[in-house]
Amino acid sequence: MGFRMGIVGLPNVGKSTLFNALTRTAAAQAANFPFCTIEPNVGEVSVPDARLEKLAAIAGSKQIIPTRMTFVDIAGLVRGASKGEGLGNQFLANIRECDAIAHVLRCFEDGDITHVEGRIDPVADAETIETELMLADMESIERRLVALGKKLRGGDQEVLDQDRLLRAALAALNEGRPARTLKIADEDRKQWRMLQLLTAKPVLYVCNVEEASAASGNAQSARVAEMAAAQGAASVVISARIEEELAQLPEEEAKLFLEEMGLKEAGLDRLIKAGYALLGLQTYFTVGPKEARAWTIPKGTLAPQAAGVIHGDFEKGFIRAETIAYEDYIAGKGEAGAKEAGKFRVEGKTYEVKDGDVLHFLFNA
């Protein structure tokens, strides 16, 4: 089950520097963790989770396999992209394929790096890209409504629902609000996702600051945080330049460098965790002598669907899930101890998997 986050931004905001640091970090992990660069602008990175190593140590697992997130470095946007300016069409198509958007904003001054708009104003930059995405959505919706017009006469419920949702989105956009501000009923969520509206995707604002502000941010990143809070979005402070340096250092040297900079963890770790939270994802674990592995699922996933992430046959033939909460596994120093303490549970098809569950699935082949 792959989750893709598109990294977007105006030219010269540090977007590609950040992506390059991400992919170099992932390459450095390759000795221990699965990693692949699918294309020059696509890379997979492991989601940091200290619980996995603790589970592996108790179980004596030979291999540790973390869950992963895919980052896509999307072509730089310019004003007019919704009309195909610059690499606009490619930009918009790539965003449609992503589950969420990490919007890199320039929150630093540097006379040697020009700004495409001739000024440093991250809030205005965010509005520029948001406007282009909204214009593209409006144009797309209007075309689709015309195409749906003839089909409406047939009374097909799916067509009627699609028309209703598109009109609701268009009304919001005409009021200057992105589609993600709409409250969508649970029964409409699947159809809503299938519309693939650009402004319906969740947004994480990434404030790229100068090195001295990496720990606490600056006045510009504070403005972005305020804007994000007003939108119900998220923001994270990061110094792409620091991340670039960190990505080239051995693990122990990187830790010392972080301490010297007054940072508790790498900005990339914060970015990945924030992206994971933004998408409403959680982790469950499978643990044994062969491997300790993390699996990504949306919050609210039921046991059969969680099993299906491992293999479709697990979901089709699901019988039950043997379950131990992470804390109980650690406290019992493994499965046997958890069983002795009465913390081992057998759950059925209606069980909603919790973050940190250690699971073993039984199924009919």
Backbone angles phi, psi at 151, to 5 degrees: -75, -25
Domain total in the chain: 2
Most confident of 52-56, 70-74, 147-151: 52-56
Tell me the pLDDT of the chain averaged across its residues.
86
Instruction: Tell me whether residue 300 is exposed, middle or buried, using C-beta atoms within 10 angstroms of its C-beta: 0 to 12, 13 to 18, 19 or more.
Output: exposed
Mean pLDDT value across residues 94-120: 78
Do 117 and 236 sit in the same domain of this protein? yes
Mean pLDDT value across residues 170-185: 93
Does pLDDT of 104 surpass 90?
yes
Among 243, 278, 313, where does a domain finish? 278
pLDDT of residue 244: 86
pLDDT digits 0-9 by tens, 248-296: 888 889 889 998 888 888 888 888 888 888 889 999 999 999 999 999 9
Does pLDDT of 84 surpass 70?
no
Do 212 and 339 sit in the same domain of this protein? no
Do 268 and 304 sit in the same domain of this protein? no
- Which is more confident, 351 or 74? 351
Mean pLDDT value across residues 22-41: 51
CATH number of the domain encompassing residue 327: 3.10.20.30
Count CB-CB contacts under 10 A for residue 237: 23
- Which is more confident, 93 or 266? 266
Is 349 in contact with 311 (CB distance < 8 Å)? no
pLDDT of residue 112: 59
Do 199 and 229 sit in the same domain of this protein? yes
Does pLDDT of 308 surpass 80?
yes
Query: In the 8-state DSSP scheme, what is residue 62?
Result: S
Count CB-CB contacts under 10 A for residue 265: 11
Among 247, 278, 309, where does a domain finish? 278
Do 185 and 316 sit in the same domain of this protein? no
Does pLDDT of 31 surpass 50?
no
pLDDT of residue 58: 97
What percentage of the chain has pLDDT greater than the value 90? 53
Backbone angles phi, psi at 133, to 5 degrees: -70, -40
Do 240 and 330 sit in the same domain of this protein? no
Is 348 in contact with 77 (CB distance < 8 Å)? no
Mean pLDDT value across residues 52-76: 90
Mean pLDDT value across residues 173-200: 92
Do 40 and 136 sit in the same domain of this protein? yes
Say how far apart CA 50 and CA 32 lie, in whole Å: 15
Q: Is the dihedral of CA 181, 182, 183, 184 positive or negative?
A: negative
Does pLDDT of 60 surpass 80?
yes
pLDDT digits 0-9 by tens, 200-229: 999 999 999 999 999 889 999 999 999 998
Is 45 in contact with 71 (CB distance < 8 Å)? yes
pLDDT digits 0-9 by tens, 250-260: 888 988 999 88
> Where do the H-state alpha helices sit in 175-319?
189-194, 219-231, 240-246, 251-260, 267-278, 303-310, 312-316
CATH number of the domain encompassing residue 83: 3.40.50.300
Do 308 and 164 sit in the same domain of this protein? no
Say how far apart CA 276 and CA 1 lie, in whole Å: 13
Q: Which two tokens stand for residue 349?
A: 């098809």
Do 160 and 242 sit in the same domain of this protein? yes
pLDDT of residue 88: 47
Q: For the chain, what is the largest distance between any 2 Cα atoms, rounded to a whole number of angstroms?
A: 68
**Any domain includes 284:** no
**Residue of 316, 305, 313, 297 lying closest to 354 (CA atoms):** 297
The whole domain housing 114 covers 4-278
pLDDT band at 28 (very low <50, low <70, confident <90, very high): very low
- Which is more confident, 30 or 360? 360
Do 105 and 247 sit in the same domain of this protein? yes
Q: Which two tokens stand for residue 93?
A: 């198509």
Is 202 in contact with 101 (CB distance < 8 Å)? yes
Does pLDDT of 76 surpass 70?
no
Query: In the 8-state DSSP scheme, what is residue 164?
Result: H
Cα distances (Å, whole numbers) of residue 241 to 108, 110, 237, 286: 11, 12, 12, 37
**Any domain includes 166:** yes
